[in-house]
Amino acid sequence: MDQQPNISDLTSLQGRVAVITGGASGIGLGVAARLAEAGAEVALLDIDDRRGREAAESLRARGLHASYYHCDVTSSSDCGRVTQQIISDFGKIDVLFNNAGVAIRKNTVELVEEEWDLALDVSLKGIYLLSHHVIPHMVAGGGGSIINTGSGWSFTGGPSAVSYCAAKGGVLNLTRAMAIDHGQHNIRVNCVCPGDVDTPMLRSECEQMGEDPEEFMKEAANRPLNRVGTPADVANAVLFFASDMSTWVTGAFLTVDGGGTA
């Protein structure tokens, strides 16, 4: 019988470079912390320079390896520039976590065209643009892992969220198509689908809907595991996809929602 690697080797990202979009706060920062704890050199991408720098500094203060890069994922030139900078700095990209997103809580009549474009450009087009620039480097390096952030609303509808639901539904099927195209290059592409996670974005949604965030969190806890999620809950799922725990998993999604869609 072949000797199996031990569990610490399977979960280790030592020597790997991980790129995280929307990395300044919320799920992105939580994932950056977990991947760095597993040994990765993490590159946090965001448009909020103050929060992004503070996030990277907070990780470095813990002895972790983290850098911040300004990147607008809706801009192909920005994505190309940042990709080249990271390759120049670290020589490779092993993991890409496409997490940047926008949640605009309006229905079809209320939503204006510019808001539709923003939501789709950040949450869906941004995955395409950054992956477009990163994948050739993964191919040259012998493979990699791409994880896209979907949602529970990737496969169910939600109220007053047409652009968000459209984008996240697209993310799920984009993930499958990418997995088919790039499996031959040893690039795995998977999707993590969180439910309600206590993040600045979710609290912004509460404000948009005229709801008190604390009351919403209490109501949202009404699910089998009786609580809303944390960034760390999602980060553990992303670590699974990023690590050698999932070497034969691609084109898949993992719902992390405390049983909310059960």
Copy the structure tokens of residue 8: 């610490």
DSSP 244: G
Give the C-alpha separation, 126 to 103, whole Å. 14
Give the C-alpha separation, 12 to 14, whole Å. 6
Strand partners, 96: 19, 146
- Assess whether 69 carries a catalytic annotation: no
Catalytic residue among 68, 69, 128, 164: 164
C-beta of residue 110 within 8 angstroms of C-beta of residue 58: no
Quick one: how far is CA 177 from the chain centroid?
17
Burial class (CB in 10 A: 0-12, 13-18, 19+), 70: middle
* Backbone region of residue 112 per phi and psi (left: phi > 0; alpha: psi in -120 to 50; beta: other values): beta
Collect all residues with Cβ–Cβ distance below 8 Å to 149 and sequence separation of at least 6: 22, 27, 97, 98, 99, 101, 171, 191, 192, 194
For every residue of 97-116, DSSP letters joined together read: EE---------TTT--HHHH
Collect all residues with Cβ–Cβ distance below 8 Å to 175 and sequence separation of at least 6: 148, 150, 189, 190, 191, 251, 253
Any idea which residues carry the catalytic annotation? 164
